[in-house]
Amino acid sequence: MKNKAMGKQFGKYLLVGGSTALLELLLYTFFRKIIYLDLSISNIAAVFIATVFNFIINRGWAFKNSSNIYRSIVLYIILFIANTTFSTNAIVFMVRLGVLDIIAKFITMCMITLWNFILYRKVIFK
């Protein structure tokens, strides 16, 4: 029963994550290709907006957390800073190696998705 509940929760997490990823990629593309912001600024802005959306939906639906919201926010902000620092540096690094920026962005998003589920479940929304 516990594995079934975790599987359902993981499915919700992936649905929220997929919509967050789509939102983040659309925002990143908009900032980068439509209004011509710097690569790092585009990434940070897209990640920030998508992260706010992700927190609200994950907390209320995927992880149904009703515990201390302030604790969750603080931990989420710490994770946000770590993920944003990682993704921005990784994207810049990969672009310097010749990888298209949108591909580099997608790769970093996939990596972050893997560790975020565990951290959300065991730490942030516990």
How does pLDDT run across 69-89, given as a tens digit for each residue? Answer: 899 999 999 998 999 899 999
**Contact predicate 46/24, CB 8 Å:** yes
Which residues in the chain land under pLDDT 70? Answer: 1, 66
How does pLDDT run across 102-117, given as a tens digit for each residue? Answer: 899 889 988 998 899 8
> What is the model's pLDDT at position 1?
54
Q: Domain map of the chain by residue range?
A: 2-124
